[in-house]
Amino acid sequence: MDRSDRQLVRTLTGHNGAVYDVVFSKDGSLASASADATVKLWNVKTGERLDTLGQPESEQCTVAFTPDDRAVVAGGADGS
């Protein structure tokens, strides 16, 4: 939503399950963790999905960028 007029700016689509966590990097990228056992990376300005990280064996509950924004870490129900 645009904060000034509270209008929806963009919808990011691509997950096939509930989204449990989202986090922004310092450069404005977004990472999302989902019940579909993936973490997705997004360009917020364009809505483009940049990558899908899908190696976990179960839902991903949390995601974070490292302090230098060079890596993404996630945790989920598979314990990895």
Confidence at 11, pLDDT banded by 50, 70, 90:
confident
Least confident of 9-13, 22-26, 32-36: 9-13
Phi-psi region of 39 (alpha: psi -120 to 50; beta: other; left: phi over 0): beta
Cα(57)–Cα(61) distance, rounded to whole angstroms? 12
Reported as a single tens digit per residue, the pLDDT across 59-73 is: 999 999 999 999 999
Q: How far apart are CA 13 and CA 54, in angstroms?
A: 16
The pTM (predicted TM-score) of the whole model is 0.85
